[in-house]
Amino acid sequence: MGFLGGLFKRLPPEPTSFSVAMQALSSATPRLKDLETLSTGVAGVLIRDDGLGGSEPLVAIDRVLRAYAPAQEAKTRLETDEHGYHWVTVHHEWFDGLTTGVRVVGEAFLKQDYGERIVAAVFPFTWKEKKVYLIYLPGSGRFTPFVPISKQDDLRDLALEVRVEEALRRIIPTERDMSQWYPMWDMPI
């Protein structure tokens, strides 16, 4: 790399905040529709346990949800998956309402100083009878795709994941480093 190349070297993009990422995803609706990728009407926010066990994490999550109820049309529910992880599921028939509901849940956690407990926000879609997930990771501030084929064999459709990322990268903040794309199996959404 020459002198000028070193000066103009691309720095990694700054992480995108939860709110900005949800607004960007909402603006991707026309592109998703063009790609015949349809929302399932549900999304999930994965919440990290505080490690104390018992009912305290559920009480804290419930307190946050009551203090900042999501948009009126979005329905939220607190669930625990088969591995013991806590999820706030958001249901809405319109994708904009879904992203707004997830954004409000995320902002509620941030305002209550529980922002570090948010592990991911997950949006499932269908495309030609396949499940396609967009997973927002607050730590990196980026979305990653996940297209499962077989949990039993830990198989993923990596070619489709690459196509999804490439199709959306100009609209939403995506992680381009495939080594940072992690599968999430057994989600309750």
In order, the DSSP letters of 57-74 are HHHHHHHHHHHT---TT-
pLDDT, mean of residues 44-72:
67
Within a domain: 2: no
- Please give the span between the terminal C-alpha atoms of the chain, in angstroms, as a whole number: 46
Within a domain: 178: no
Within a domain: 79: yes
At 137-150, the pLDDT tens digits run 999 999 999 999 98
Q: What is the mean pLDDT of the chain?
A: 84
Is the pLDDT confidence value at 112 over 80? no
Q: Which residue has the higher pLDDT, 186 or 24?
A: 24
Q: Which residue has the higher pLDDT, 94 or 57?
A: 94
Is the pLDDT confidence value at 53 over 80? no
User: Sign (positive/negative) of CA torsion 122, 119, 146, 183?
Assistant: negative
Is the pLDDT confidence value at 120 over 60? yes
DSSP 40-107: -SEEEEEE---S--TTHHHHHHHHHHHHT---TT-EEEEEE-TTS-EEEEEE-SSHHHHHHHHHHHHH
User: Sign (positive/negative) of CA torsion 100, 137, 135, 174?
Assistant: positive
How much is the pLDDT for 55? 57
Number of H helices, E strands in the chain: 6, 9
As for how many domains the chain has, the answer is 1
How much is the pLDDT for 11? 46
Specify which residues 38 forms β-bridges with: 126
User: Largest Cα–Cα distance of the chain, in whole Å?
Assistant: 59
- Between strands 38-39 and 118-127, the pairing is antiparallel
Categorize the per-residue pLDDT at 1 as very low, low, confident or very high, splitting at 50, 70 and 90. Answer: very low
Q: Note whether 174 and 142 are within 8 A (CB).
A: yes
Domain that holds residue 98: 15-172
- Reported pTM: 0.85
